[in-house]
Amino acid sequence: MLNRTIIEGLEPYRVGEKIRTLRLRKSMGLVELGKHTGLSPAMLSKLERGKLFPTLPTLLRIALVFGVGLEHFFTDERKRHMVGIVRKKERLRFPETPSGGPVSYNFESLDFKSTERKLNGFYAEFEPLPPEKLRMHQHPGIELLYLIAGKLEIVIGSEPYQLSAGDAIYFDSAVRHGYRRLSKSPCSGVVMTA
């Protein structure tokens, strides 16, 4: 039996609630979680209800199923940066590639203070490039680009698309793609990837 001091010390972390939240996000039942962890559904139920506290090896078995570290269970929710504000003056500007030479865009992270993000947001300023200098790239997931100002050509696969201020495009970013500013005036947009 755990003494009152240990119980009071562990209660604020709400480990059981965090286990239940992870399980429900995956639409997983107690029996299925038990099969993945080797723990009985009855024990998992007690853990989730706070009737029992897991040992570190038990908690690690659960964490591995959901792809989280042990720190997930012991961080204060209020300190996990569920809300992150990035002020304009705090953002850093980076070129598309650090290797130098012509770049098709410069970007600033809009969400670098947030942890456990489900997507990534960037402010991008696109540069004029001749068509032969267009740099194609790809990455897993999807991309949404909203053009704030200017005119932009985006090539996805071998297909070119032209966007004007106010236009948006959503596409599978696993397909090679590249950007090229068409307007003489500045061209900028917000890019979201997931």
The residues near 15 (Cβ < 8 Å, ≥ 6 apart) are 47, 50, 53, 54, 59, 73, 74
The residue among 97 and 87 whose pLDDT is bigger is 87
Q: What pLDDT is recorded for position 129?
A: 82
Q: What are 126's strand-pairing partners?
A: 105, 187
In this structure, what are the phi and psi dihedrals at residue 190, rounded to the nearest 5 degrees? -110, 130
Residues 46 and 132 reside in one and the same domain: no
CATH of the domain at 68: 1.10.260.40
Residues 10 and 72 reside in one and the same domain: yes
> Collapsing DSSP states into helix, strand and coil, what is residue 170?
strand
Q: Which domain holds residue 133?
A: 88-193
Contact 103, 97 (CB under 8 A): yes
Residues 9 and 97 reside in one and the same domain: no
| Structure tokens that stand for 13 in this block | 């972390």
Q: Would the pLDDT of 34 be above 70?
A: yes
pLDDT digits (tens, 9 = 90+) for 122-131: 999 998 888 7
Q: Would the pLDDT of 167 be above 90?
A: yes
Average pLDDT over residues 76-91: 72
- Per DSSP, helices labelled H in 40-177 are 41-48, 56-66, 71-74
Residues 174 and 94 reside in one and the same domain: yes
Contact 150, 185 (CB under 8 A): yes
Q: What pLDDT is recorded for position 133?
A: 81
Upper half-sphere CA count for residue 21 (Cβ side, 13 Å): 9
| Structure tokens that stand for 157 in this block | 């696969």
Q: What pLDDT is recorded for position 91?
A: 85
pLDDT digits (tens, 9 = 90+) for 44-75: 999 999 888 899 999 999 998 888 888 888 87
> Collapsing DSSP states into helix, strand and coil, what is residue 135?
coil
* Mean per-residue pLDDT over the chain, rounded: 87
User: Where a domain ends, among 44, 59, 79?
Assistant: 79
> Collapsing DSSP states into helix, strand and coil, what is residue 140?
coil
What CA–CA distance (Å, rounded) separates 134 from 108?
20
Q: What pLDDT is recorded for position 116?
A: 65
Q: What pLDDT is recorded for position 48?
A: 92
Q: What pLDDT is recorded for position 132?
A: 82
Query: 78 pLDDT band (50/70/90 cuts)?
Result: low
Return the percentage of the chain with pLDDT > 90, whole number.
43
pTM: 0.59
Least confident of 58-72, 81-95, 161-175: 81-95
| Structure tokens that stand for 123 in this block | 């402010």
Question: Total domain count for the chain?
Answer: 2
Average pLDDT over residues 27-49: 91
Residues 75 and 135 reside in one and the same domain: no
31: left (phi over 0), alpha (psi -120 to 50) or beta: alpha
What CA–CA distance (Å, rounded) separates 185 from 187?
6
